[in-house]
Amino acid sequence: MIYFAADIKSKHSIANVLLQDNISSYINDLYENHKIEIKTYNLPDGETRTAYVVDRTLTISTLPDGTIFSIGCNAHYKGLYKNMLSTGMPFSQIKKLTERQRIFNGALILNEDFGLCYVLPAPYDEIADNIENIPPMITLDEIYISDFSSWINTPQ
């Protein structure tokens, strides 16, 4: 059952929705208990992806076969990552609670955990090249989990 206060687990789950599960496992719960908005988008290589936005709080992204490859949540989500980090926190607080922060592809990776990222808000998603470019009081409202390990060799 989808639960908006469940722990956020890197490379694993948000809201009790598991990465690598098939969206079909959650369809009954989604439609019986939540408001769902479905968005389909095409990648530059022609591949299609589908995003299920649940109660304007959770975004479940799937491959064409329904496999869940990414899950995101916003400031309405109440669960925590490692019992201390959440959406809606100022960057200064996140920085105090983590040892290392790095910017990749408009997102913030913490403590070399490439299974979870905070999305940097505009315009910082485009202009922040290093941590010093992020204002301490800016609020980070979105967390995504997936396998972001391909970013490791991306220039930062």
Claim to verify: residue 95 and residue 124 sit in the same structural domain = yes
Claim to verify: residue 64 and residue 20 sit in the same structural domain = yes
Claim to verify: residue 133 and residue 95 sit in the same structural domain = yes
Total domain count for the chain? 2
Claim to verify: residue 58 and residue 98 sit in the same structural domain = no
Residue 150 has a pLDDT of: 83
Query: Does residue 86 carry a pLDDT above 60?
Result: yes
Closest to 82 in 3D by CA, of 152, 12, 155: 12
Query: Could you tell me if residue 155 is inside a domain?
Result: no
The 10s digit of each residue's pLDDT in 29-70 is 999 999 999 999 998 888 899 999 999 999 999 999 999 999
* Averaged pLDDT score across all residues of the chain: 93
Claim to verify: residue 17 and residue 69 sit in the same structural domain = yes
Mean pLDDT of 84-95: 97
Claim to verify: residue 67 and residue 107 sit in the same structural domain = no
Query: Could you tell me if residue 95 is inside a domain?
Result: yes
Contact assessment for residue 15 and residue 81, using Cβ atoms and an 8 Å cutoff: no
Query: Could you tell me if residue 2 is inside a domain?
Result: no
Containing domain of residue 39, as a range? 13-73
Query: Could you tell me if residue 152 is inside a domain?
Result: no
Claim to verify: residue 104 and residue 136 sit in the same structural domain = yes
User: What is the percent of the chain where pLDDT is above 90?
Assistant: 80
The residues near 48 (Cβ < 8 Å, ≥ 6 apart) are 40, 41, 42, 64
Query: Could you tell me if residue 80 is inside a domain?
Result: no
> Binning pLDDT at 50, 70 and 90, where does residue 154 land?
low
